[in-house]
A and B are shown apart, each in its own frame.
Chain A
């Protein structure tokens, strides 16, 4: 079955005809060309596909697109505003929080939702919030430093 789904993606209202079995990650990547959300695993294990749905982190590879009717979806493509990187994007760039970059969109969105909830996270809270996001390059230390730097900048 197919249905028309209306949702807001990075501030723009989108209406798409979506099959019941379509995944959010496929709607974003294949239909809308938003390839920032990555597919890193067979489903649910790595966090590379993390986007925000109504401000909360969501694994788009195990989310049915049709279930997002009426929601507000944010992807990495919507994080920079007016040509300026978000605080987290800049911090990851400047503090070597990204190496190959495959995990980075998911990391940044999971961290974005943390900072909106808690602008003063300590290292342990960052570890917990990013616990479902795997990185095979950085060893995580630079990622955690990047989030701490971004948090300090958001507060300033």
Chain B
């Protein structure tokens, strides 16, 4: 019987402190939550480790609870639970993004924390070992050249999580625990524009929870993908709209086009007397300028840029 997975041990801490200690003590260890990204990577030889630290037995990673007028969502909450959570209805883009992550069977075990820490993706990377070997591997892992941008010295693999942009437009923060204690970061600051090191997690750190401020804006999420039923976003957009006496203010965040989810610079206020066609036309141009899709997916970068901007304008118009 051949083994599908490399040899590793699984540690099963029952508290965050134990998990942090275990991760810190084994520098090659990786956290295991739902495993829908991690086990696939291990099967394809995209990560190597002698130790998995399973987070499934840690109670404080569970639960969706009221928190200072907003919500605290444990990193270990499954997407199937989030999809049905009534408390999230006040943040419409979030359950909408959750419901289009992978397929329903993945969502039964896939977690919020795993989704935020999902590896970046690229057509030259998410392949079998022999495929990558015959291509000389690549800069991100085991090779020395990036096949997407051979002149460059960094990996451009695309951040492909659906939920992060929806959290960003609602102003969410990520709670992180590590050897030096706990820290909180706006979701936006949790990510870096580097496909080979795209999160801010330091050795021994894990994501413990996401904190949402009190609900307010109306919001929505949409993505483009090759197969409608089950696929990563080739580009995705979350839009939130807040109404005030001055007019409508929009917040937009994009996924799938860069190595991190990107917040779009504020397009300014849409006042009652303003020409809305001109406003949404400018908003569309602004999104086009913000994103930088690369040849990391099966759709041409230019197509992804144009379609995600068009989607942005469509969602914003609907929310206005």
| A61 to B10 alpha-carbon distance, docked (Å) | 17
Q: A47-B105, A129-B104 are in contact. Are A67 and B54 (CB under 8 A)?
A: yes
Contacts of B229 in A (CB 8 A): 127, 131-132
CB of B184 closer than 8 Å to a CB of A: no
CB of B6 closer than 8 Å to a CB of A: yes
Q: Does A1 contact B9, Cβ atoms closer than 8 Å?
A: yes
The residue from A57, A63, A110 contacting B35, defined by CB atoms under 8 A apart: A63
The residue from B3, B43, B104, B128 contacting A131, defined by CB atoms under 8 A apart: B104
* Chain B binder among A7-15, A19-27, A84-92: A19-27
| A20 to B50 alpha-carbon distance, docked (Å) | 11
Q: Does B36 contact A21, Cβ atoms closer than 8 Å?
A: no
CB of A50 closer than 8 Å to a CB of B: yes
**B residues contacting the other copy or chain, number (CB 8 A):** 30
Q: Does B103 contact A20, Cβ atoms closer than 8 Å?
A: no
Contacts of B40 in A (CB 8 A): 42-44, 62
Q: Does B109 contact A26, Cβ atoms closer than 8 Å?
A: no
Contacts of B106 in A (CB 8 A): 44, 59, 132
Q: Which of A19, A30, A129, A132 has the most CB of B within 10 A?
A: A132
Contacts of B43 in A (CB 8 A): 42-43, 62
Q: Does B36 contact A57, Cβ atoms closer than 8 Å?
A: no
Q: Does A57 contact B44, Cβ atoms closer than 8 Å?
A: no
CB of A28 closer than 8 Å to a CB of B: no
Q: Which of A47, A66, A131 has the most CB of B within 10 A?
A: A131
Q: Does A26 contact B4, Cβ atoms closer than 8 Å?
A: yes
Q: Does A62 contact B39, Cβ atoms closer than 8 Å?
A: yes
Q: Does A57 contact B108, Cβ atoms closer than 8 Å?
A: yes
CB of A128 closer than 8 Å to a CB of B: yes
Give A contacts to B, CB under 8 Å: 1, 19-23, 26, 30, 42-44, 47, 50, 56-59, 61-64, 66-67, 110, 127-129, 131-133
Give B contacts to A, CB under 8 Å: 1, 3-10, 32, 35-36, 39-40, 43-44, 52, 54, 56, 80, 102-106, 108-109, 128, 229-230
